Structure 1
Amino acid sequence: MTGNQPNSGSPWLEEAKKLLNQTLVAWGVPGAVGLLAVHFAREKEWWAAIACLLAAGLLWLLIRFFSQLTPSLDKLFQWLALKLETAAIAFWWTLSANFKQQYYQRLIYTYRNYRTQGLKTTGPFTLDLEKTFVPLGVAPESLNRAATAMIRQEIAAKSFSIWDFLARMTGEPGFRHLGIIGPPGSGKTTLLEFIALTYAQNTYRQQNRNAPRLVPVVIYLRQVWEEIVTGDRPTLVDLIQQQFQHQDSLRGLNPPPNWFATQLRRGTCLVMLDGLDEIAEAAYRRQISAWVNQQIRTHPQTPFIVTSRPFGYRAAPVEEVKTLLQVKPFTLSQIEQFIQSWYRQNEIRAQGRDDLGVQRDAASKAKNLMERIKLTPAIAAMATNPLLLTMIATVHNYRGALPGRRVELYGEICDVLLGRRQEAKGMPDRLTAAQKQAVLQKIALNRMTKKTLTFKTVTGMILIREKLDTVTGGTLEPDVFLKQIENVSGLLVEKEDGVYQFAHKSLQEYLAAVEIKERQQEYILTRTIDDPWWAETVRLYAAQNDASNLIWAALQRRDSENAVQALTLAYECLAEGLSVQADMRQELETVLERGLESTEPGVFKLAAEVKLAQRLKNLLRLDETTEIDTRLLTCAEYQLFIDEMKLVGEDRQPPHWPSDRFQPGEANQPIWGVRDSDAAEFCEWLTQRSNAIGDKFIEQDAAVFVGHSKIRLPHAIEIEKHPVVLPKTSNEAQLKQQSIRIVREQVNEY
């Protein structure tokens, strides 16, 4: 039997089902439940289908309800999120502020004391850095390495304060990354520590009202260089964080997460990297420079300062540093300011009070030391170095060793530079300071004998090899030793490639004197007693021995052409010698003192020339080019001028003199009543005597001077700033108006 197949539905019904399915799918979860209802209806499970339809409708209503609430819920969640974010930020800044306050307090604890690393005679008291520090002058090392804006703006100035550059750091990219170079002991480390202390105490605007607000970070490269070159090359942030784990002064203080990273990113840190030169190996030093370059490039908005001795920087320059500054030596006013501050701080600590009596005691001692410095040119030259000046002040206070025991000061300086300073910095050395000095004495005496200051590397190696082998057992090569002395102690400096010299001529002369004493070769000095080249070595030798033989040798040169030099030196040996036999002392005093009153022309002239030579050797240095006399010219010295002018038919004696010679007993009295024109002519006469023959010549009927130094009368402001103590005479009023003082200026050309 046959029948018809059931009809699956008309086309429109199929389209309706398809549309329903698509709609239910589009409805998501309600649609899925609706599809399930359709499935149950097709299976004729009506109760299940009805339950699913009711569930789908309820879900659809709930979804529609919450969809209307979505904007309000979004606002609610946004409000909650904002509140949470604000609370988190406030909490972070609370931690930040608390940390910054604690960090600054630790910096104050660390840097508030004036520290002189390696000084053996330090005394029992620690001085305040803020009250002792004298601002250093800095100047562009080269105009090519300095941003030109400041140079054009302040072209007349010769030096600046570091705060002049800090004030421009954040606003002018050329000053954002600075290099500061200077010789050993010039105050580079102390300068960085003072900057950190100033920022920690929030007194930076007192230094310069335009100085930016910065967070100081000091990193001593000598402490971290090994980790940089041999470790995992830590970033700047890593090194800063590690300071809080390894540095005693910061240990236990925990920065908030990413605190320093944030400061570096914003450019609100001042990163100070001290002692690039203290990485002795040149290859490692270049790696450190490369690392510094990378940190600057990583944090281009962050100000950086890098310090180094000149040799260390030239061998491994930091290319990202755009302005290179050189530390200037102390001027006379800075020397005086430091000594006054140093003594005041020392007396306050010693006496446990700060009142007028303490201040007077400090002022008296400071004045005494300044007078000694002014009267001793060799020490005055050394006092321009802050570290050496600190040694001078310390020795003066605790040993009373200036100027007669100057030799002890030189010994202290060599001891510090060769050993104790490295020990204080934690830089180990296989040789003691005494061993290194014994080796260097060989070079010093040889250079004095050769009458030169410089020596080539190969020459130095030959001179020291034997002595070096005796103190090291042959384990250290001479060229390595020389390089270490240059790099670590600074007692030797490389003047040019492969050519060395001692850092100061006085140090070479001192070491030569010690070597002569140890060899017992005094004859080297007695036979050169009239040679100016050996004069300082003679004085330093006399300070360690009986000076009688030296004075005797000088007296034997009374008839030589260098008699003035010989007797001048003999008189200085009398003052500085460790001891002098009585008969030799008497003979010298007779020659000099009686000679000034002698009417015999030759005897008088020799004594007066010695006195004038002593004057010219003891002028007070005002700055790099100018020296002023600290005493009034005497009648005996002016008589030399009168006698020479008389030979050419000119009368230059003061109008009130009854004759052309001073009265008996007045040889050492100040000259007064001199005409202005005569005083000016005296300076011209002394200028010609002080320079080589031929320094003055006639060109187109005019005298042209081409010497190295010129003598003149002081300006009114110089007299006011540097007065002399007038002798108590009846002519005191005349002395103030008509006496003679002189100034010597170094000149390049006229």
Structure 2
Amino acid sequence: MEPVRLPSVDAAPLVQRLFAPLPAPTDTPRTTGTPHSPRHPRPPDPHTPPPPSAPPPGGQLIAGLVSFRGANPSCGYAELERLATRFVRLGLVPAVLFRGESAGVGTVLARTLSVLGELDTTDLQALRMGPQDWARLLRTGAPGADRELSPEAASFHDSLLVAVCLHALNLLLDRFPHLAERLPERSHHIRQLVDLGDVAVVRRRPAPSAGDTAFEERYLRSVVERHNRVTIHGIELSNPHTPDTWPLETTYLSLGARFDTPATAAPRGPDGADDVEPAEPALPLMPAERALTTQERLLVRGVAGSGKTTLIQRLAVATARGGVPDGLEPLEGRIPFLLPVRRFARTGFPAPDDFLRAIHHPLAAEAPDGWAARVLADERALLLIDGMDEAPEHQRAELGEQLRRILRIYSGNICLVTTRPPAVEAAWLADEGFTELTLAPMSRDQISRFINAWHNAARTDDGRDHQHLEDYRERLLQSIPLYRELRGLATNPLMCGLICALNRDRNGSLPQGRRELYEAAMEMLLQRRDPERRVLHADDVKLDRAPRERLLRKLAYRMLVEERSVLETQAALDEIETHTPAIPSVTGQGTPRQIYEHLLLRTGLLREGTDGTVEFIHRTVQDYLAAKEAVERGTFQLLLDHAHEPDWEEVIRMAVAHARPQECAVLLEGLIAPGRTGMKRNRRRLLAAACLEHVTELDPDVLARIRRETRNMVRPTTLAAARGLGWVGPIVLEMLPDPTKVGDEEAHRLAVTATRIRDDAAIHYLAQLRHHGSLTVRAELARGWHNFDTDHYAEEVLRHLDPEGLYFPLTDRVELDALAKMGGRECVQIAGPFTPDELLDGLVRDRVAHLWLAYDLGVSMEWLARFPRLTTLRVMPRLPRVEGVPEGIRIV
């Protein structure tokens, strides 16, 4: 007879009822039950004292933990018998031989489980024994209880008892983390046994039914309807009540992405030598959506607004429609589940059968029982998990463990998770096969294409300025390369769209600073948007920009304090009701519901979910408004308490930009004050330096202190430290050592830092490194080309680099033209989305001898035959295999 297996999603809530519930924690919410079953929260019980802060060395008596003992038992013997009967039903799913004795087995199991409250066994002892020995001990406490059962039924009871004990131990590990710390190997073994049991149960699920097939068709249609729309900021539609959204397929811009994990193959030079280090070794660049052609599990990192959500919308829609585009064949026939983490961040990762319910999908109530689990068991699912960073920091590890369990139980499904870069640690779930991918900033070509597409879409709206759109477009294309702040912000789709809208709104005249851009955006959306669209009587609420912004700031600040990116509608109404009496221009305008509807429909900054929640259109808007409110309230200590957390970086930068001189000094002095150690201390000091570019006025003594505190920190001793300094900004250039007086190793680290500053002031610094003979230094200087003005950098740096063994990277057509003006080079790296015709026309063909493919061009390579001197083709590891390479060209 096979061992009895109980699915944890069903067994966990039953086992919980065997034990007295613990009181709900007062600080941070936490899921309960097994990680696979977060839908069964443990109800708080005011009669049960919390567990001791320091557990007894020998463990806690299990008799004191069960629900059917004590002064106020919550479970009587009759309830214990009912639980035992349900355990029997679960265990009998695969074994039908003993149904005639199922009632008798239930009675015996109830008697055996009651022994939990009679023995002097502790939780630590039970864990040390394991489920089989613990079950054997319970049977000895009820001698002869199974004498009236047949041998087969008695054997079934014994195996079922072991399964119940296994899930009971799993529950104790969930409730008391110190047990896992005391016995880590035994705890790991218990978790593995639960997982193996779930895998076995999954394999026994029945085949899909006709009902499944019919529901899938409806579900796939709903995926297309829900996700085939994107917002384009600043496009004015004729109907003011119509959301500013456009079809995804007509606006989607394919973004590049880099694998973060270096490949195992050593880089080789054009002659096959192992000592050549080309630019950015072992980091291939490819269209982000094509990464799933070679990887089944991806963690996609990207800054706010970089296009993470749009990417997974694209994948979901393409998969749901069938007939996926070339390069996405592994998605053919998959069922996409797009799961925004913010929808379940505080309740835990949902079990498969709760996927649709957790995201409040309109078809959730109509899904056949077990449908999602069957899709996963058949290895047909595409899991798209969006925004791991939107879960509170203290819950991300638990969500990761819950996802890990699902992927172990339902292996063979494709999974993609998105997050902001610092939200989860490096190599997150690498042991589960996850490969990390980082969305690259938009290249100049992509920015140009985006701007052109935006203005083409604007010609179809109800605006009255269509005759000026061409002039606006040309001015913007000329302005972005000239201004550092604009150039940096325009490299992600969200901000590029907002810049296009502002440029149009201000008749082709843009502010250049980050704060000024946001201020202009607030003015456009909160003050001028409706009057200029002739929307004057859309509702009965009449609010100007100031009260609108104040109310939005209150909502953003509450989200900041609670560390969340969505708010329940009722909580938003409560917040509005609380603050309305203090804002005279809002008082008497209407009920909190009317004012809320006004903010939702008239500002363009909020959007409402189908699940009764509201959120800002993007986290950057929320951070900006929350920072302004924090400065207004003077809650600087709140900001300083979180200053070492990457998620708060943008809030603190904007707070410094909003602060008055004395407030600014308080914030910056707090960042460099003693009290933190290690990486937290270093990050706070570097953040203080980074904030200096946003300061309008500051006490000179504070400025001098910051420079003293950070001077030694900007001479990095490792490559990781060098890479991490780029985000600080141009202020770093004033602190870096003289590049002409350092050795090759330090010169390489300085080049790594300076090329990431993305300010043309860095070109002068980097030009002082151009005569270094080290190939590593030269390769880093070549790699940094795309971060700066193309022609200026080419003249000051690239033209002077010794080309021996050095690959010159090309990421866009502007660089392609600039390299041709320099006469071409022997070694060329293709690191951007070119067509063969563009490369044939742009490269100096009779000079190219060694070509390095670092971007998935998605085409056959026959066209390489037209390069007469080409002898070597390097193909970056992880890229799909190339085909059609002409004879005589060696592939390395």
Q: TM-score, normalised by structure 1?
A: 0.45
- Could you say which structure has the larger radius of gyration? 1
Greater per-residue helix proportion: 1
Q: TM-score, normalised by structure 2?
A: 0.39
